[in-house]
Each structure stands twice: as C-alpha cells, then as structure tokens.
Amino acid sequence: MPKVKIPTPLRQYTGGESQVEVGGGTAGDALGNLATEYPDLKQHLYTGDGKLRSFVNVYKGDEDIRYLDGPDTEVADGDELSIIPSIAGGRCL
Amino acid sequence: MQTREPLVQSPNGAVELSNEEIARYSRHLIMPEVALDGQKKIKAAKVLTVGTGGLGSPLALYLAAAGVGTIGIVDFDVVDESNLQRQIIHGTSDVGRPKVESARDKIKDINPNVEVRVHEEALTSENALEIFADYDVIVDGTDNFPTRYLVNDACVLLGKPNVYGSIFRFEGQASVFWAEEGPCYRCLYPEPPPPGLVPSCAEGGVLGILPGAIGTIQATETVKLILGIGEPLIGRLMLYDALGMSFREMKLRKDPNCPICGENPTVTELIDYEEFCGIPQANAAEQANGVPEITVKELKGKLDGGEDINVLDVREPHEYEVANIGVKLVPLGELPRRLAEFDHNENFVIHCKTGGRSAKAVKLLQDAGFQNVYNLKGGITAWSEEIDPSVPKY
C-alpha cells in the first residue's frame, strides 16, 4: 500500500500519526481513502464539491502530482505521497 | 569557484576592507570560495529582512556577522516576553522596545561595520516596491499569508530573489523564489488557505529552536546568491522535520499559468493582499454571525453579585495546566458529545484564551438550543489583564 506523509498541521486529524498507509491505485484514490479513514481531515483536503483544495500540494516522491497525472497519478506499494500544506509562520491569522 | 553569476558584481576598488575587517573575516578570506573578492561582494551587498521575529533574528545576526554591508530591517512590532523563547536578536532588557531598535543595536554590537537601515513600518502594497528597490535580496521572515504574497509579488515585479522560510510547530520550509530563474511562491501556492482553515492559535505554537534552523538556511542561501557559489534552492523546496530530524527536498516547477510570473500574467501591480487572503470577508462573516458577548468586568460583577452562571473553559488541558480561573474545562473538540452534561435553561459564559474558540462554542450551544450563552470577550488573557493578574498570561 502507498504511504502518505502527514504534515504537522494536519496530524491532529490523524490521531497524531505522521505517516499512514492507505489503499488505492492512484494518488486520488489514496487521498480519498485517507479522508474516509480520518473524516476530520476531509474538509482540509477537499472543497465542498469534492475537488482537492488548491493550497494543498500533493507530491509523489519529490514530484508534484500536478506535473504528473494529477489525481490519476498511479501509485504502487511503497510509493510515498506527501501532503505539503502552506504554512505562514507561528502566529494565527 | 563560482557556479553561477553572483548577485553582486565584483566591487573592483569601490569597496575595500580595513585591517580590522581582514582580521574579523579571516575564516572567510582563507576559503577560496569566498576569499578577498567574495568578502568585498558581501560587504557591497544590500539585504532586506522582512520581519525581525523568529526567522529574522538568526538571519540578521548571521548576515551581520558574515559582513553583509547593508542590512535593512522591516518591522513595526514591539518586543514582547513571549518572543524571547525564539527571537534571539532581542533580549529580556528589550521587552517593550520597538523590534527594529533592539535588532539594530544587536547587529551593531556584533558588527559595527554593518550599515543598518531601519524601516519601522508595516510592509504594505503602497510602500513595498519603494522599500525593496534599494536591495539586492529580500529575505522573507514574515508570519502571515497576506505579507507572504505581498513579498512574493513585489519581488517578482522587481525581478529580485525572495529567500523564503516558513515554520510551524516542529516543521519548516525553505526555498529561493526567483521568477527570473525559476518558480515563485504563487507557482507553489496559487491561492492562500481561507482564514478559517489555517491552524488556529489553539493548535499553533512553535519549537523555539526551529526558526534557528530555517533562518540559518535562509542566511546561507542569501550569502550563496551574493557570491554566486554552490547550488541555490531555486526550484527546490526544502522540508525540515525537527521531530524526525529529517530533511526532504521537493521539486518546484515554474507554472506557465502563474498569475504573476507565468506567460500571461494577470497580476501586474501590487494588489490588496488582506482582501486576496480573505481576511476582511472572514471578519465580516464573523461579525454577521456575531455571538453575544460579555466583558470580563461584567462577568466579575455578576459573579460577585451571586448570579447563577456556569462558566466553561473550552481550551485544551495543557493550556488549563498553564493558567486557569478554576472553572469547568470542556475542550472545544469534546463539546459536541458532552452537551448532555448541561441544562438548556441555565446561563452560560464560555471562555478560551482570547475569545476565538469560545465564540465557536457559543455558536455550537446556541445551535443545540441553549438560550443564554455568552462569549467572554478577550478570554482568560483579558481576565488576567483586567481582573486577576495572578493568573499567568501565556
């Protein structure tokens, strides 16, 4: 199963886990399964109509999936997906 | 030794080093990658640090020590006790002073050869281009999204490199955004997150040492750009995880559709960045959904008068441990499933640290049919300031 690296700001929605293994043959499926497993994460990854939020960058290995096949990017066992959030600093807005 | 065009051209006689400076920079001068010519470039360089906080502190200290000839500092804030855990350019005796003054004194103490240019003002769309124009490199050490997009756009419009760093809790990011040679900040993050979704004060915080790690990466990249040595972080995003003690590197690409550095830019001048980041809209929405409030003085009066009020604290247990006013703790996240503990007909005042989370709690209780629920304005912080100073402020 592919691994998904969870960044610090989102770990509160994965019970503190920094890495989660989820099923799925594509990046989109894997993230969808992640959001199903951790429902609190969903609104942080997806817009109301089910699209990945534009400020959430998803990488397979060191490559942005926007420049691969987007959500259709194939992932295999052991592949590493990373969610790279935008962070501004230590202060809240 | 050069791997690329240096940002600062060899000053050729225009800049000399005194014997004191030669002694001071000896460890640079004996490295062929820097040497006398490189040290002169560093002295001729003008670097602007936006913010003298967590990132700006180590950055400005190291750039000063390294001999950057002109360091500009932009900040309008005043040193607060809660800054000292990470903002190492400021000391205990600086609390209450403007940060730019404290930073200037520390820089001058480390290296009196540095010319410090103080910009004691908030960076805005009106002044950014004018302030940036004089500098070779801009280093972004800000702490909010509107200023980050402003710094990026001003750098793109002026063709200047933006040495980026950002921190949260135990994790940091660094890169060099330079539209002339690679992607900009907007290529990576075309849009800011809506204000409601970014982690709030409750979930915030930062390991005091973390900005040291990221700020020194920014300082390193700045000096490399000035000298034209090594491989800059252009087109690469460095991710640092202090807990895992790991660095990872992600590829960044220039987005041909980027609204400011792409092929057909739609942003051709600085815009209203508060608006762009949804701040006024969020504030307006908050006011429209306004919940009834009570001040700490009013609450004190009612409690002293013997009124029957349930005061609830919706912060996290680790915050309660730091400071509390002896009332029932129900963390906001637990509130929805603990509603049965409370009587709809009773009076409630909800507090948190400063009033943000408790406003959500009030809304939640109202939606569940509670009639008399008030938000404590300013939270426990206001209580500490106006009612009981023995309650620590954190």
* Interaxial angle between packed helices B56-66 and B210-227, expressed in degrees from 0 to 180 and rounded to the nearest 10: 40
Please name the residues in contact with B162: beta carbons below 8 A apart, sequence gap of 6 or more: B138, B139, B140, B151, B152, B155, B176, B177, B178, B184, B185
Average pLDDT over every residue of B44-60 = 97
What dihedral do alpha carbons B310, B316, B318, B322 form, nearest 10°?
Answer: -50
* Sign, Cα dihedral of A14, A19, A21, A26: positive
Active site residue B352: yes
Predicted local confidence at residue A93, as pLDDT? 31
Q: Is the pLDDT of residue B253 over 50?
A: yes
A41-86 tens-digit pLDDT: 888 888 888 888 888 899 999 999 999 999 999 999 999 999 998 8
Residue B93 region, left (φ>0) first, then alpha (ψ -120 to 50), else beta?
A: alpha
The dihedral over CA atoms of B213, B216, B218, B221, expressed in degrees to the nearest 10, equals: -120
pLDDT, mean of residues B279-304: 86
pLDDT one-digit tens code per residue, A8-24: 888 888 888 999 999 99
* Annotated catalytic residue, options B201, B258, B261, B277: B201
pLDDT digits (tens, 9 = 90+) for B154-181: 999 999 999 999 998 889 999 999 999 9
C-alpha to C-alpha distance for B15 and B36, rounded to whole angstroms: 11
Return the bridge partners of A4, or none.
A20, A81
DSSP string for B191-207? SPPPGGGS--GGG--B-
* Cα–Cα–Cα angle for B14, B19, B21, rounded to 5 degrees: 70
Q: Where are the beta strands (DSSP E) in B127-255?
A: 137-140, 162-168, 171-177, 236-241, 246-251
Computed over every residue of chain B, the mean pLDDT equals 93
Q: Which residue has tokens 């497993």?
A: A37
Query: Tell me, what's the pLDDT at B202?
Result: 45
**pLDDT of res. B163:** 98
Which residues on chain A are in Cβ contact (under 8 Å) with B54? 89-90
Q: Which of B85, B191, B180, B199 is nearest to B148 (CA)?
A: B191
Indicate whether B197 pLDDT > 50.
Answer: yes
Mean pLDDT of B318-334: 93
Interface test with A, best of B55, B80, B145 (most A CBs within 10 A): B145
Whole-number pLDDT of residue B198: 59
For residue B203, the model assigns a pLDDT of 55
B193 in contact with A, Cβ within 8 Å: yes
φ, ψ for residue B346, nearest 5 deg? -85, 170
DSSP letter for A51, please: P
Q: Is B261 a catalytic residue?
A: no
Residues B145-154 have pLDDT tens digits of 999 999 999 9
Smallest CA–CA distance from B254 into chain A, residue: A67
